[in-house]
Amino acid sequence: MKIIGIGKNYVLDKSEINDLKNDVQLIFTKPDSSLVTDSKDVEFPAITNQLIYEVELVVKIGKLAKNVSEEEANSYISEIGIGIDYTAKDVLTASRDKKGPWALAKGFDGASPISGLKPISEFPELDNINFDLVINGEKKQVGNTGYIIYNFAEIISFVSTFMTLNPGDLIFTGTPAIGAGEIFKGDHLQASIEGEILLDFKMV
């Protein structure tokens, strides 16, 4: 099982979407060892002094996908959930300075807490899903898939031209354009889809 992420995939103004599309999506991968499930508390990683949160919808691939068309791509999604894509910002900065990969900054243990997943049948409008993140009782991020640059189908189609997607693979589909920020030990995170809290954990 592999985890795929996409960067810079939401806008504040829908009119910007078409202008921001280009031939190459900003795709990265994360190891499955970064996953934290069942709303278990997450240990603050010792490898960073600056941990950044981003709330994202997560789609699960339900059947083998290779060279999938955009028109068919959504049929390859079996479930949808919500997760946090953590970045060790100081590690990322050091890697960028040396023109290195993102792997260590995005793939450390605990970098990918995810909720339980809901069947795609519960989401009749994939282009109008509301989601949000609350930290210590304060709403920090609010998103809607109507503001996504590359929608689920476009991501799946694009990635499947480079690598085969297998059943069980997860795709973090991007974070809202504003609201991402630093997280600290002791913080309490609650992530929701359509007002339902699906992910609820603390940094310990």
User: Tens digit of pLDDT for each residue in 73-111?
Assistant: 999 999 999 999 999 999 988 877 777 677 899 999 999
Long-range contacts of 179-182 (CB under 8 A, 24+ apart): 179/55, 179/133, 179/140, 179/141, 179/142, 180/52, 180/53, 180/54, 180/141, 181/52, 181/53, 181/140, 182/50, 182/51, 182/52, 182/53, 182/89
Structure-token match 């960028």, residue found: 96
- Mean per-residue pLDDT, 16-34: 93
Q: What percent of the chain has pLDDT over 70?
A: 100
pLDDT, greater one: 102 or 140: 140
Q: 13 pLDDT exceeds 70?
A: yes
Q: Cα angle vertex 32, ends 31, 38, to 5°?
A: 140
Tokens at residue 46, please? 């010792």
| Res 97: pLDDT | 74
How far apart CA 121 and CA 176 sit, in angstroms, is 24
Q: Give the pLDDT confidence score for residue 23 in this predicted structure.
A: 78
Instruction: Specify the amino acid at residue 59.
Output: V
In the chain, what percentage of residues exceed pLDDT 90?
A: 93
Phi, psi of 148 (to 5 degrees): -80, 145
Which class does domain 3-202 fall in? Answer: alpha beta
Pairing mode of beta strands 35-36, 181-183: unpaired
pLDDT at residue 141 tops 90: yes
Most confident range, picked from 14-18, 24-28, 115-119: 115-119
CB of 18 closer than 8 Å to CB of 150? no
What's residue 100's pLDDT?
Answer: 67
pLDDT at 92: 86
Mean pLDDT of the 161-169 span: 99
Every domain of the chain and the residues it spans: 3-202
For residue 132, name the pLDDT band (cuts at 50, 70, 90): very high
Amino acid 157: pLDDT: 98
Average pLDDT of every residue of the chain: 96
Mean pLDDT (whole number) for 113-127:
98
Is the pLDDT confidence value at 137 over 80? yes
